[in-house]
Amino acid sequence: MKFRTLAIHAGQQPDPSTGALNTPVYLTSTFSYGTAAEGQARFAGQNPGYIYSRMGNPTSSALEQKLAAMEGADEAVVVASGMAAISSIVYALTQQGDEVAFIDPVYGGTDAFLRNTLVRAGIKVTSYSSDDDFVANHSANTRLVLWEPITNPTLKVIDSRKIVAVARDIGAITVCDNTFLTPYLFRPLELGVDVVMHSGTKYLCGHGDIIAGVVAGNGPLIQRIRTIALKHIGAPMGPQEAYLLQRGVKTLPLRMDAHLIAAQKVAEFLAAHPKVEKVFFPGLPEHPGHQVIKDTAGGFGGMVALELAGGFAAAATLLDNLTLFAQAVSLGDLESLACHPASTTHAAMTAADRAKAGVTDKLVRLSIGVEDADDLIADLSQALDLL
């Protein structure tokens, strides 16, 4: 089946007891197994059947089947947040003495987890400045390598094919954070990536009303991650969130098409505007990652960043005068959002690390929603005129 069809139908069966077309929200912590013999069989793994919602619930199981089909994976596990996904993956697949690599930059929470928390488990963490830096300078002892194909907030492109080729040579597990592109535009498993994860909070949900995480991949790796995420860390997705996420995911292709069109138009408008110094958007032909995304993905995503002469003051004037863009972190919602990374999401970094990551005081990040592009452009235009 094609992607749009999978997004609607995969994992969804009419409820056997009532025929309800939509998967019900199973608000229950525990499941009666009826007899002592059945309890014994379920705990021994001999009989299928739910036991306790931390380990599995019918609403989240239906969502897991849908997401696995969309990523082209054997199996998916849904968890409480994107950060629960990252930490469960890394704890499940590494141990004391291992080396973990990541390609800079990664999401701030991921960066802090790897650099500050993971190292306390006796795991060595090394960052590389680009895909080419990893190819040239990787440690042969790397056990796991993690990256985002389009990075935050400067929208640098990482070529997943280069990372996979090196990882195969050295026997490292590859983990791709696919939050920005979604499986509608990019399916890492088809390029040989082992594990794909998402902050489901963003485009997969699309409506900005839940916190959610998703991990997908093949067989034994996902089973190990499931055990750590659900049984040990104890971070399952609740059934209400699972319901809302499956509802959001059904319209992912429709929403992404609208994000793509609006983001391209907004980026082209900004690139031609005399008050804008620089635009970061892989859909512009002059972007250094344009061809990599063209070759490997079905679109350039909905995130756009820009730099203004005049630093924080100019950025604040722009942001404070936008009427359609809410000033907020997060991304991938129906509504357009705008933020100043250096003073918010990246404020905890040292000025030197910010400079290295290209997070300057003049940088503004936009998450382009699904509004009409003409209205978004008119809003940006009137705010830029005030500079």
Instruction: Tell me the per-residue interface mask from 66 to 105 with ligand PLP, x by CB under 6 A, - otherwise.
Output: ---------------xxx----------------------
User: What is d(CA 114, CA 110) in angstroms, rounded to the nearest whole number?
Assistant: 6
Among 156, 202, 226, 362, binds ligand PLP (CB under 6 A): 202
Eight-state DSSP code of residue 174: E
Tokens 């790397």, residue located: 142
Among 59, 88, 142, 201, binds ligand PLP (CB under 6 A): 201
User: What is d(CA 143, CA 384) in angstroms, rounded to the nearest whole number?
Assistant: 47
Q: Which residues contact 153 (CB under 8 A, 6 or more apart)?
A: 303, 305, 339, 341, 345, 346, 359, 363, 365
User: What is d(CA 314, CA 296) in angstroms, rounded to the nearest whole number?
Assistant: 36
Among 71, 75, 104, 177, binds ligand PLP (CB under 6 A): 177
Q: Which residue is nearest to ligand PLP (CB)?
A: 82
Tokens 């990246």, residue located: 346
**Residues 208, 241: contact at Cβ < 8 Å?**
no
Does the footprint of ligand PLP cover residue 175 (CB under 6 A)?
no
Smallest distance, Å, CB 72 to ligand PLP?
A: 20
Does the footprint of ligand PLP cover residue 211 (CB under 6 A)?
yes
Radius of gyration from C-alpha coordinates of the chain: 22
The residue among 69 and 155 lying less far from ligand PLP, judged by its C-beta, is 155
Binding-site size, ligand PLP (CB under 6 A): 15
Instruction: Tell me the per-residue interface mask from 119 to 158 with ligand PLP, x by CB under 6 A, - otherwise.
Output: -----------------------------x---x------
The number of angstroms, rounded, from the C-alpha of 349 to the middle of its chain's C-alpha atoms is 21
Smallest distance, Å, CB 20 to ligand PLP?
A: 29
Does the footprint of ligand PLP cover residue 367 (CB under 6 A)?
no
C-beta atoms surrounding 71 within 10 Å: 27
The number of angstroms, rounded, from the C-alpha of 205 to the middle of its chain's C-alpha atoms is 11
Does 54 qualify as catalytic in the annotation?
yes
Does 52 qualify as catalytic in the annotation?
no
Among all residues, which ones are annotated catalytic?
Answer: 54, 107, 177, 202
- Which residues form the interface with ligand PLP (CB under 6 A)? 81-83, 107, 109-110, 148, 152, 177, 179, 199, 201-202, 211, 213
